[in-house]
Amino acid sequence: MSMFYHPEKYNIPDRPMENFIDEEEIWSILEENKDPSKEEVKAVIDRSLGKHRLSLRETAILLNANDPELIEEIKNAARQLKENVYGKRIVLFAPLYIGNYCTNDCSYCGFRVTNKKQERCTLSKEEIVEQVTALEDNGHKRLILVYGEHPLYDANFIADSVRTVYSVKHKNGEIRRVNINAAPLDIEGFKTVKAAGIGTYQIFQETYHRPTYLKVHKAGSKRNYDWRITGLDRAQEAKIDDVGIGALFGLFDWRFEVMGLLRHVNHFEAVYNVGPHTISFPRIQPASGFDIDAKYDVNDDDFTKLVAILRLAVPYTGMILTAREPAHIRDEVLQFGVSQIDGGTNIELKGYTDNKDEQNLNHEQFEISDNRTLNEVIEELVSGDYIPSFCTACYRLGRTGEHFMEFSVPGFIKRYCQPNAMLTLAEYLEDYAPPATKERGYNLIQKNLDEFEDKELKQSVEKRLERIKKGERDIYY
Ligand code: SAM
Ligand code: SF4
């Protein structure tokens, strides 16, 4: 793990399951690195291109670079890092909302307990089966299950719903990886959920700034900042290897939040010797019952800049972009090395089977800006030369921390990720794509095969593609 930037000493020492965020420290690092020179910015960029995770100080230098020319250099460096390190594939997933009962009162969320307009429901086992069947019929293989925070949704409930999802096999469809976005559990709870075979457990801190955190989380157990910020430590104590962090941009100063995310990353490295599996950076969207001041809204320029900085600061971590962002933002930040996006997303409870003509704000958590179908997302990726992927091979073979391996194991992407992306895309093209997408998809696969330098691998992939065309499924490296 030589690329970790050791040793770093911070005001609050890193101990398992203890808070590590020192607000004053973050402000002072930001303040001390104001108005960086061109040379300073370039030196930081070079460190990142040398595949080093950046320190808080180095990240502050990038965050404080305001000259348009320097911002362009930061973005170009993020593009270059993506080109050098990551392949052309983008992993696709869909969220599935299991229940919207919630005892918390988060000022930004439609599910908050005080929002009386919200119609509450929890999917029954049969309803989960129906939703998963519809998702499989669209071609999905990876889901993230989302839950409100409520005694109904304890660890056993979450584990049961995960098992139900895995049990649904419709035609050639199956869900091969289930991730979770739910409340922080205790260690026993995380063990229970792990035993159901989850992939990643995501918990977003929302804001790393404690006073803001207390302001927007008005009631319920989520008000406990320390319990939340130590949540993924407990997940790791329970041997969940893949954890996902995130901040909800729009609650507080975005520079502070990027520093918070980075401090969270180096906390994991210090305590568990492994960084987070993924980082998410949702921007706040209007919701029913929404009560957030627009003061900290992040505009498009700052947002694309912050994604580029995150890529450079944590070069080995998967980055998740959601359907919350409009097409022009997705186009730009995909170039900075986003590794996963959702497609064909519906965040209404039972939304994958209900009539989708109208968005019903009383059923969902917030509004989304991308209502395209999975096939439309795939078409867009293919036309941009990205290979849409449904690969779940690492997780299935026990290769946890796959983003880290992609980054650190030479040739890993060419040997595993790219072929697996092609194979899972071929499955999609055979089973779910309309004829025009099928043609374009196979053209892309062929183009990529032609670029293979390793002829043996090329032959091996061609053979497997033939097997898929003949009806075999779930073949991977
Ligand atoms: N209830 C659990 C929790 O709060 O962690 C998990 C599910 S919650 C529905 C998932 C995430 O949705 C939250 O962590 C938050 O970042 C995000 N979210 C909530 N309201 C949002 C909004 N108005 N716009 C964008 N994202 C939002
Ligand atoms: Fe509940 Fe989560 Fe929404 Fe907060 S963000 S109100 S905890 S569902």
Q: How many CA atoms lie within 13 A of 359 on its CB side?
A: 14
In whole angstroms, give the CA distance from residue 92 to residue 320.
10
Distances (CA, A) of 144 to 72, 259, 318: 34, 26, 15
Mutate to test the pocket of ligand 2, among 111, 115, 180, 366 (most ligand atoms within 8 A of CB): 111
Pocket test for ligand 2, best of 98, 101, 106 (most atoms within 8 A of CB): 106
- Of 205, 365, 366, the residue with max ligand 2 atoms within 8 A of its CB, to mutate for a pocket test, comes to 365
Alpha-carbon dihedral sign for residues 96, 102, 106, 107: positive
Nearest ligand for residue 181 CA: 1
Q: Which atom of ligand 2 lies at the shortest distance from residue 100's CA?
A: 8
Q: At what angle do helices 418-431 and 455-469 cross, to 10 degrees?
A: 20
Q: In the prediction, which pLDDT does 345 show?
A: 86
CA distances from residue 142 to 134, 201, 300, 410 in whole angstroms, order as listed: 13, 14, 29, 26
Between the CA of 277 and the centroid of ligand 1 the distance, in Å, is 19
- At CB < 8 A and 24+ separation, what contacts does 351-358 make? 351/97, 352/96, 352/131, 352/134, 352/135, 352/138, 353/130, 353/131, 353/134
* Atom 2 (ligand 2) nearest CA: 148
Token couple for 362: 């009383």
Which ligand gives the minimal distance to the CA of 221?
2
Ligand showing the shortest atom-to-Cα distance for residue 228? 1
Burial class of residue 423 (count of CB atoms within 10 Å of its CB; 0-12, 13-18, 19+)? buried
Orientation of helix 187-195 relative to helix 155-167, angle to 10°: 10
pLDDT of residue 1: 43
For ligand 1, atom 10: residue with the closest CA = 181
Atom of ligand 1 nearest to the CA of 102: 1
The residue whose C-alpha atom lies closest to atom 4 belonging to ligand 2 is 106
The pLDDT, as a whole number, for residue 365 is 67
Decide: 445 and 469 in contact? Cβ < 8 Å.
Answer: no
The verdict on the CB of residue 320 being under 6 Å from ligand 1 is: no
Distance 154 CA to ligand 2 centre (A): 15
- pLDDT for res 7: 62
Instruction: Name residues of the chain where pLDDT drops below 70.
Output: 1-7, 355-365, 368-370
| Ligand number with the minimum distance to the CA of 115 | 2
| Token representation of residue 163 | 């098992």
Q: Residue 322's pLDDT is what?
A: 84
Question: For the CA atoms of the chain, what is the radius of gyration?
Answer: 22
